[in-house]
Chain A
Amino acid sequence: MRQSRHRAAPAVLVAVLFAAGCAQSETKGVSGLPPTPWVSRAVPEAKGDFKTLPDGKRQALRYRGWTTEDFGEYRTYAYDDSRPAMAPGRGAMPAVAGDPKKGRSLFLARSLGPCTGCHLIQGDDVWPAGNVGPDLSTFGDRRLPDEYVFNMIYDPRHIFPNTTMPPWGTAGVLKPEDIVHMVAFLKTQKGPLRPEKDSERNPETRPKPVGFGDNLDSTNNPAVIRAESAESLWVRKGPAGKSCAECHPGGPLQAMKGVATRYPKYVAHYRRVMSIEDFLTVHSPETTGAPMLAQSADNLDMTMLVKMASNGMPVAVDLASPEHRAALDRGMANFNKRVGQRNHACADCHASGKGADRFLGGRFLGNAQAGLTRHFPTWRTSQADVWDMRKRMQWCLTPLGMNMLPADAVEYAELELYLTSFDKGKPMSVPGIRH
């Protein structure tokens, strides 16, 4: 191994780790075992930690502008979270008179659903509505009994066991009186429909987003310039007196060529699946001595620099080794696991035949099976910042009412491996540019 290190310097890291990986799987047979607990090396706002306020309430530490609410009572993706899925509940329909006006404003309320994120209703002020769920513009014509509609909103799983729709009543998001008003409102939704003034109002006729042009053009994607700044990071000596360049000669483009195509991968030394981001959090302090916390600017910049060395090369993650097969199984299980206050699974929004390639409000939902990973980290035009996939996952899940896991959690890494499996063979193109 020492020899190969000198001879094939550019691929040092991977060669060493790969060899070590084989050795361990033969001797210890770690395949299928859950990964060992991991100490997070993420910046504070990415760790999923909490602080206790003077009044004893717990407040989540999250990125600026994100909710600080604690969703601790709902289950998460954590492998040690063995709580069962939220049991279907039933609510008694209160004997109040439904007010269609109140019902409509509840239907549109951003702080609750909003229901219009998935369902279209009548009205020019309804914008942007989504089409993950059925169009309800003529729902009243179906003359369904009030009690049936009430139960459908309270907890639809009694009627449709595998529905994407959250159990609004059981989860406590909507009060029974609220639902009565909404039932009254839905009865008013009757045909015939007036012609649309704006074809973009209806998600079925709304044009699909076309993207933001060439993501590798530095005059188009600000993330490219950010990634280039990591070139100075590459040669900067850390507290241990060494820089990346000393062990990986030839410049980052040569030394890291093709490396990123094999990530996320099982790293035997740490006994877990890691993305480039995860690996840097431990590899940097162990070699140069410089910290490179998950979600820190240094970590993101270096990840982009490493991944850019593989641009154009096909994703080549290992799907066959025992460790990867076990990790893929766990990642797939989490993709389909119902979590959080909204009782959603990733698959609800990102699997073909469910929400994928449809609108959630104004947002067009990506299709996991078509591959969502090979442009990360990506510039987000709506945030004017670079996000890696972990932050994207944390953002996806926080509004759904789930406490986030640390950015470098094993659960996220294996979910990322599962998502990356759909990109196998497709060319990498980092950094991306997305809304």
Chain B
Amino acid sequence: MAEIGRVRIRIPSSIKQGDVVKVRVLVIHPMEIVQRRDGKPVDKNYHFINRVVVTYVGKEIAQFETTQSISENPFFSFAFKATEAGPLKVTFLDTQGGRYEGTTDIKFS
């Protein structure tokens, strides 16, 4: 598998101020689930992303709470209104304390 925690962000190639921009984010993560037998966890050593935080020019604009039911190498897509130029940062936090960040610059053309 490719290295864990590598974040890729895709935004449209040309953005105008005030546009509603669709962002596509993918992170490399195994998203290991809790193994259960007869309703009891047999392997508590689970490892999945449980929080995604999006900040735009230093301000938090969105937060997602995620569960083990999301696939390996999860892909997220969301839209936001590009009001000013600056960095868009997406941070992934997992159950084992992992913290993976990806940043892209919002520029107007």
Contact = CB atoms under 8 A, between A and B. Distances in A.
B25 A219 contact: yes
A229 B8 CA distance: 15
A222 interface: yes
Interface in A208-226: 217-220, 222, 225
B8 A219 contact: yes
A218 B1 contact: no
Interface of B: 1-2, 8, 10, 24-26, 28, 73, 75
A225 B1 CA distance: 8
Which 6 residue pairs are nearest across A and B when measured between Cβ atoms? A219-B26, A228-B2, A219-B24, A229-B2, A219-B10, A229-B1
A74 B94 CA distance: 56
A114 B9 CA distance: 45
Contacts of B73: 222, 225
Interface of A: 217-220, 222, 225, 228-229, 231
Contacts of B75: 219
Prevailing SS type, chain B contact patch: strand
Contacts of B26: 218-219, 225
A141 B53 CA distance: 67
Given A222-B73, A225-B28, A225-B73, A217 B2 contact: no
A220 B10 CA distance: 10
Among B2, B24, B25, B26, max chain A CB count under 10 A is at B2
A216 to B, nearest CB: 11
A384 to B, nearest CB: 11
A218 B88 CA distance: 19
Contacts of B1: 229
A229 B28 CA distance: 11
B105 to A, nearest CB: 17
16 contacts: A217-B10, A218-B8, A218-B26, A219-B8, A219-B24, A219-B25, A219-B75, A220-B10, A220-B24, A222-B73, A225-B2, A225-B28, A225-B73, A228-B2, A229-B2, A231-B2
Contacts of A228: 2
Contacts of A219: 8, 10, 24-26, 75
Contacts of A225: 2, 26, 28, 73
Given A217-B10, A225-B28, 18 more contacts: A218-B8, A218-B26, A219-B8, A219-B10, A219-B24, A219-B25, A219-B26, A219-B75, A220-B10, A220-B24, A222-B73, A225-B2, A225-B26, A225-B73, A228-B2, A229-B1, A229-B2, A231-B2
